[in-house]
Structure 1
Amino acid sequence: MRRRRPVGDRKWVRILMATVAAAVTGAGAVVVTAPAAQAATTTITVNGGSTGRTFDGVGAISGGGGNSRLLIDYPETQRSQILDYLFKPGYGAAVQLLKLEIGGDANSTDGSEPSIQHTRGDINCNVGYEFWLGEQAVARNPNIKLIALPWTAPGWIGGGNFWSQDMIDYDISWLNCAKQHGLTVSYIGGWNERGHNKTWYKNLRSALDSNGYGNVQIVGDDSFGLSTADDMLSDPAFKAAVGVVGSHYLCGYLGDATSCPSSANAVATGKPIWNSEFGSQDYISGSAPYIRSVTRGYLDGQMTGFVNWPLVAALYPNLPFNTTALAVANSPWSGAYQLGRSLWANAQVAQFTQPGWRFLTGSASGYLGGNRSNGSYISLKSTNNTDYSTIYETSTSTSTQTVNVNVTGGLSTGTVHVWSTNLGSNNPADWFVRQPDITPSNGSYSLTMQPNRIYSLTTTTGQGKGTAAGPASAPLSLPYSDDFDAYASRTEAKYFSDMQGSFEVRPCAGGRSGQCLQQVTPVRPIEWQDDSDAFGLVGDPSWSNYKVSVDVNFQQGGTITLLGRANTQSRPQSHQAAYQLRLNNSGAWSIAKSTTSGTVSTLTSGSRSSLGTNTWHTISLSFSGNQISATLDGAALGSVTDNSYFTGQVGLGVVGYQTDMFDNLSITPIGGGNGGTSVGPIRGQASGRCVDVPSQSQTNGTQVALWDCNSGANQTWTLTPSKQLMVYGTKCLDAYGQGTADGTRVDIYDCNGGTNQQWTLNSDGTIVGVGSNKCLDAYGGGTANGTQLVIWTCNGGANQRWSRS
């Protein structure tokens, strides 16, 4: 039965063309009628006596930067569950390599990681969360290998010169701090994606040796390309200093990773070759390039170590790369988290191998049928010289693939255990699933594999899939406040995420007792991406109508900033969409608007009497619809009308790097609740894509559709007490023309209280129209960008189920 086109839908021809040759049943089941492709067969000999390079591990990066920030603030139960899924052997990803950022007080992608030395000689080994994360990883897997790498550095280093003795000394101090936390670091890099200085690397090697870190290997050079290997062959001392040839995105950046070459010179060094940063893709849709980067990385480039960026997206969802990771954990107040298909792609390798295993050569590793379009596979044998595992990926295949395997060379001919992940399914139940065991006959067996899968075959045991699950996502409710008195000195405030500079809790100044939040980076750092004012963000990006107030203390002359409705951030961090109250100690003030293009425009301004320094004042910003107003010490400064942003977090900052203080942060709702209950993005279970208002249109009648989640204002929804799903603060999700028939399009329209604008969000993930009693539905079971949304009779289809994440 083919659906009739949605009422009022002018794009129905395109949709019908997309369903040609398919029979559509119900709202989401599409039965493809094309004939099945012919199966291919590959004969493989897994010979334990034919060994290649040593496997160094698969893992991920915490850093580059701020992407792990919110994890430490999760409730202990959910925090432990997430950590288990990342690190615990036989449970989840079972990460074998963990790269930790050596923080430097400057933004290195999604935030600023704090330095252990904001100023020369003042070392704080308990700064931030990287050492804590390393402790958690080692507690779960004592065999994990830790890597350290800086992206940025404090401004006092070398007078602004990274390639200096100061930076070497700084690295040694960081390693000393790691040792205080019981952490053994196995590898250290130079400067992320900034090339290499041969003399500096040689000096770093000498410093490591003379300070008791002779076993720490240097990775060179964590940049793009393999010029490190070229220089190693022409400079024996440099070659002796570098232990691992490491390069980024050897399979291509944000590509399909179907080809992963290294270089002849890299192989000729005889050193391990690592894809020392790969990934940067969505936690669900990036899983196929993920596994290809590993299997084809070895086949094409002799790579033996693989480090995905990043480990976890424990960052605010309005920041860049907010779903790029193995798991997403952006709601610490609710405890909600989501595991990615990429997490299980990592498990398909890490739960079946260990660093120190040897790759097997000959036909034991290769391309199925000798054709890379069929898929690839790698075999490795254990250090016990008996057990082995083979990892297959059929992600580029359009047909079934059969392998006939013969095991020789002293390897076990016993039972083979099989696990698989369906890379084409968005249902977690299809990820990392145990299949029936195989019993070889005289060391031989066969397996027929489906297209777009990962299969791991092993003679080892101990694999497993954790069963813990987090609660449903919920908003950070208002009112919210923090007086900072509950924290120890020199720690971070709960939920506060540094974007540039570093904000720490310190004893208050200006005659005030207790603890305050202070910006403690005194000069511009050595940066990895562009400069900006020092600031940080806190709160729920879907907050709408509220008043934010804070006490401020100028420690030097300059300008303090209070941000509200901080919305989407683009790169670099100065491209932060927000409203700002900018207050100078001279008394000059302005309400300004900053944008994702990096512009700051004044909406209104004025001046009051001088505020001086080291005295306390209270400032506030209030938002109600398109009305924005500001106060100073309870007296009105000014107000303005603007329609740019209707939701967003709050933020605190300074213009430049003044070491100003903040206290008694308070956010209170205007108009009740959060101006509605925060929902945020609404993600389709079948598609992994979000309910989106195309082109950020605010025009009545614009039909909503699926689109890649990006945390834009056009994907941020608020559930009001009257069951409206509101976007932009004034527009409601609407069944067009008060329609109730199957296929009625869903659009946005001025909120008017009609039942066609009221929705019930059910615990099973369905969103049901009050007026129609029908489900929000991705038309035709579509999952692609641009798939339009309609209402349809509820039928349990995955295209009618939505998550608030």
Structure 2
Amino acid sequence: MFKPNFGASLHIFKVEIGGDAQTTDGTEPSHMHYPDDQNYFRGYEWWLMKEAKKRNPNIKLVGLPWAFPGWIGNGKNWPYDFPDVTAYYVVSWIIGAKQYHDLDIDYVGIWNERAFDATYIKLLRYTLDKSGLERVRIIASDNLWQPIAFQMLRDAELLRVVDVIGAHYPGTLTVEDAVSTGKKLWSSEDYSTFNDEIGGGCWARILNQNYVNGNMTSTISWNLVASYYEQLPFGLEGLMTAKEPWSGNYIVSSPIWITAHTTQFTQPGWFYLKTVGHLEKGGSYVALTDRMGNITIIIETMSHDHSVCIRPPLPKFNVSAQNATFKLDGSFNDLKSLQVWYSKLCTNATKPTLFTKKAAIPVKDGSFTLELNVDEVYTLTTLKTGQKGSYPNPPESQPFPRKYKDDFNVRNPPFSEAPYFADQSGVFEYFTNTSDPGDHVFTLRQVLTQRPITWATDSYQAISVIGDYSWSNVTITCDVYIETPDTGSVFIAARIDQGGSPAYLAKGIFLWVFADGTYKVTADLLGKIILRKGLSGVRARHWHTLTLRVEVRGRVILYFYHLSCFLKFQLFQLAAKIKRRGNPVLDPL
């Protein structure tokens, strides 16, 4: 992903500023769950940024909030009523990145794909400058072109403080107002497509045509790596796939090598030449220079059906085989040859050719001609540093272990996430319960007591999932502790059919127990389809062991134990910190 002249060799890396809420495939924890809480080691983004910087010290870092902890909005699902508080929260993340991880954040955004507020943007710039972060640039608004560009042209101060206009899934097009601002234009989120050969074609087409059609000088893929359960939304839609931490298996897909056609032969600070455009019989070409004698030309001939992105809809167009002649002028007129790298994407049984070095092409009197076929990518460059990095075969793919247990008796920091658990709402962290001398010293605890400012449709129940969707017989056993006596509840479930943003609509087999001593079994998370209910004897502030066995023939077997007696994995999920008062907005899982 990050190492120069090896694979994707990425130039820019954008991360989520965790906000404790569901943001497509899971919840990322905030560095400030509460106003008096600061922890700059939660989540995986810090580690990822440091690993990226190890490999490429020049990579640009971008931070963007998708959601915010609930205290920011003081009970409202809105981050702008107290803009100084929100600005302080975001800037504290940037300061923490430097103070605790020696990471310099280069760009910061506003609120992913949601409304922007001009007053907040100006205050964010003021807060950055006051904190000595003048070098950090602001991107707005990570949504549509028109609203932010329209307002910038009518507000001189807003025009001054916004450095980059970022739009999502622009379909390679921009709008006149955005161009008129004179600001850098970025496709600050794009792609979101399966990383098969069609996904590679989508990526090849938009990397070129975002500039040819829309003057966009950066295109950022959502997402980096498909490292989440495939059953969650947008499975297999990263540039590559690494979704089995238990096996170590990963798959390097065509979008990695399509990226290399651009990134290995350009760098931030290079300039697009004005002579870019569309080929006569379909496809496009761009040319870039470092103004130090080097030039790189990228050509793509992606056909419509082999380059469809997930969004927006792609109008019909035709591409056919052609000969294309290029004429180099000015300082490049004297070039004698250009290095050539080549890819051919296929969607049938023919094996694709990905990022292959070919013989240099001669240049005579500044001219050269290429024979171009459909669904090809060429890079022609003066640089000789390109490389298709080699790596050993990854471990074999393995399904999630049929038998898995975890007692959380690890030495990881207490705020860490447990392996293989994927929080879907709420935040679950390791917790060392020093007041319990028994079997429950090391536990997993749900730590939020206030509903976050959500980005997506967020469930009102705290949810963490583990394992894959299975119709085979399954037994789940958990030790649970309900911390809230009046409203507390816990559920365990199997055969869940929804995760991510639609998790609140999930169907499956749900076993619920409540602090008032009742239980119910439902076929949905909303609890409307009740299969059975009655008394369980469960009480708050006591440990109980729940076992749910679901068999293929449809029988559901429930076991209730008041002492921990059989453990496949121990799941300790609490709704509130004991020291905090008041009922949680989030019910415990």
Q: How does 1:94-133 map to 2 (within 5 A)?
A: 94-133=9-48
Structure with greater proportional strand content:
1
Q: Residue 378 of structure 2 aligns with which residue?
A: 455
Q: 1:347 to 1:402 in 2, by over 3 A?
A: same
What secondary structure does 1:524 align onto? Answer: coil
Distance in 2 (alpha carbons) for counterparts of 1:93 and 1:564: 38
Distance in 2 (alpha carbons) for counterparts of 1:93 and 1:422: 17
Distance in 2 (alpha carbons) for counterparts of 1:566 and 1:536: 11
Q: Residue 342 of structure 2 aligns with which residue?
A: 420
Instruction: Please state how far the C-alpha of 1:526 moved relative to its aligned partner.
Output: 0.3
Which residue among 250, 257, 275 is the counterpart of 1:344? 257
- Tell whether 2:173 aligns with 1:173: no
Q: Residue 519 of structure 2 aligns with which residue?
A: 589
Q: 1:248 to 1:651 in 2, by over 3 A?
A: farther
Distance in 1 (alpha carbons) for counterparts of 2:40 and 2:101: 8
Which residue among 139, 143, 148 is the counterpart of 2:54? 139
Q: 1:401 to 1:599 in 2, by over 3 A?
A: farther
Instruction: Please state how far the C-alpha of 1:303 moved relative to its aligned partner.
Output: 1.0
Which residue among 89, 97, 102 is the counterpart of 1:182? 102
Which TM-score applies when normalising by structure 2?
Answer: 0.88
What secondary structure does 2:444 align onto? Answer: strand
Which residue among 328, 338, 355 is the counterpart of 1:407? 328
Q: Residue 467 of structure 1 aligns with which residue?
A: 390
Q: Residue 686 of structure 1 aligns with which residue?
A: none
Instruction: Please state how far the C-alpha of 1:91 moved relative to its aligned partner.
Output: 1.5
| Equivalent residues of 1:561, 1:652 under 8 A apart | no
Q: 1:383 to 1:493 in 2, by over 3 A?
A: farther
Q: 1:270 to 1:650 in 2, by over 3 A?
A: farther
Q: Residue 6 of structure 2 aligns with which residue?
A: 91
| Equivalent residues of 1:516, 1:661 under 8 A apart | no
| Equivalent residues of 1:489, 1:505 under 8 A apart | yes
Distance in 2 (alpha carbons) for counterparts of 1:167 and 1:470: 43
Report Cα offsets for 1:386-427 as digits up to 9, x if no partner: 111111111135432222222232236143111122222467
Letter in 2 for 1:323: L
| Equivalent residues of 2:346, 2:352 under 8 A apart | no
Instruction: Please state how far the C-alpha of 1:610 moved relative to its aligned partner.
Output: 5.0
What secondary structure does 1:304 align onto? Answer: strand
Q: How does 1:345-744 map to 2 (within 5 A)?
A: 345-361=258-274, 364-369=275-280, 374-384=282-292, 386-396=293-303, 398-411=319-332, 413-425=335-347, 430-468=353-391, 469-486=393-410, 487-508=412-433, 511-512=436-437, 514-532=441-459, 533-542=461-470, 544-557=472-485, 558-569=488-499, 571-594=501-524, 600-609=528-537, 611-613=539-541, 615-625=542-552, 626-633=554-561
Q: 1:152 to 1:128 in 2, by over 3 A?
A: same
Q: How does 1:188-267 map to 2 (within 5 A)?
A: 188-251=108-171, 260-267=172-179
Q: 1:261 to 1:612 in 2, by over 3 A?
A: closer
| Equivalent residues of 2:573, 2:588 under 8 A apart | no
What secondary structure does 1:573 align onto? Answer: helix
Distance in 2 (alpha carbons) for counterparts of 1:224 and 1:651: 42
What secondary structure does 1:111 align onto? Answer: coil
Letter in 2 for 1:483: D
Distance in 2 (alpha carbons) for counterparts of 1:446 and 1:630: 73
- Alpha carbon RMSD of aligned pairs, Å? 2.4
Report Cα offsets for 1:583-625 as digits up to 9, x if no partner: 1011111121127xx6742111111335132x21111111222
Q: 1:420 to 1:277 in 2, by over 3 A?
A: same
Comparing 323-332 with 559-568, greater Cα deviation is found at 559-568
Report Cα offsets for 1:495-550 as digits up to 9, x if no partner: 11110110000112662463210001111100011121111111233472232111
Q: Residue 276 of structure 1 aligns with which residue?
A: 188
What secondary structure does 1:619 align onto? Answer: strand
| Equivalent residues of 2:489, 2:588 under 8 A apart | no
Report Cα offsets for 1:187-239 as digits up to 9, x if no partner: 00000111210011000000000112111110011112322111111111001
Q: 1:172 to 1:324 in 2, by over 3 A?
A: same
Instruction: Please state how far the C-alpha of 1:464 moved relative to its aligned partner.
Output: 1.6
| Equivalent residues of 2:479, 2:572 under 8 A apart | no
What secondary structure does 1:480 align onto? Answer: coil
Distance in 2 (alpha carbons) for counterparts of 1:425 and 1:434: 22
Instruction: Please state how far the C-alpha of 1:657 moved relative to its aligned partner.
Output: 5.1
- Tell whether 2:67 aligns with 1:152: yes
Distance in 2 (alpha carbons) for counterparts of 1:519 and 1:657: 11
Q: How does 1:33-112 map to 2 (within 5 A)?
A: 86-112=1-27
Q: Residue 162 of structure 1 aligns with which residue?
A: 79
Which TM-score applies when normalising by structure 1?
Answer: 0.65
What secondary structure does 1:432 align onto? Answer: strand
| Equivalent residues of 2:513, 2:536 under 8 A apart | no
What secondary structure does 1:185 align onto? Answer: coil
Aligned residues: 548
| Equivalent residues of 1:414, 1:459 under 8 A apart | no
| Equivalent residues of 1:90, 1:465 under 8 A apart | yes
Q: 1:377 to 1:550 in 2, by over 3 A?
A: same
* Percent identity (aligned): 34
The structure with more radius of gyration: 1
Q: 1:272 to 1:406 in 2, by over 3 A?
A: same
Comparing 389-398 with 536-545, greater Cα deviation is found at 536-545
Instruction: Please state how far the C-alpha of 1:653 moved relative to its aligned partner.
Output: 6.0
Q: What are structure 1's unaligned runs of at least 5 residues?
A: 1-85, 252-259, 636-648, 663-805
Distance in 1 (alpha carbons) for counterparts of 2:343 and 2:207: 15
| Equivalent residues of 1:353, 1:380 under 8 A apart | yes
Distance in 1 (alpha carbons) for counterparts of 2:233 and 2:243: 13
Comparing 527-536 with 559-568, greater Cα deviation is found at 559-568
Distance in 2 (alpha carbons) for counterparts of 1:215 and 1:555: 46
What secondary structure does 2:179 align onto? Answer: helix
Distance in 2 (alpha carbons) for counterparts of 1:199 and 1:345: 40
Which residue among 194, 201, 220 is the counterpart of 1:288? 201
Q: What are structure 2's unaligned runs of at least 5 residues?
A: 304-317, 564-568, 576-582
| Equivalent residues of 1:280, 1:310 under 8 A apart | yes
Letter in 1 for 2:23: S
Instruction: Please state how far the C-alpha of 1:439 moved relative to its aligned partner.
Output: 2.3
Q: Residue 749 of structure 1 aligns with which residue?
A: none
Q: How does 1:743-754 map to 2 (within 5 A)?
A: none
What secondary structure does 1:466 align onto? Answer: coil
Q: How does 1:739-778 map to 2 (within 5 A)?
A: none
| Equivalent residues of 1:392, 1:454 under 8 A apart | yes
- Tell whether 2:220 aligns with 1:307: yes
Distance in 1 (alpha carbons) for counterparts of 2:145 and 2:2: 30
What secondary structure does 1:569 align onto? Answer: coil
Distance in 1 (alpha carbons) for counterparts of 2:143 and 2:4: 30
Letter in 2 for 1:374: G
Report Cα offsets for 1:730-762 as digits up to 9, x if no partner: xxxxxxxxxxxxxxxxxxxxxxxxxxxxxxxxx
| Equivalent residues of 2:26, 2:422 under 8 A apart | yes
Comparing 454-463 with 129-138, greater Cα deviation is found at 454-463
Distance in 2 (alpha carbons) for counterparts of 1:155 and 1:428: 51
Letter in 1 for 2:453: I
Distance in 1 (alpha carbons) for counterparts of 2:23 and 2:379: 35
Letter in 1 for 2:294: D
Q: 1:317 to 1:657 in 2, by over 3 A?
A: farther
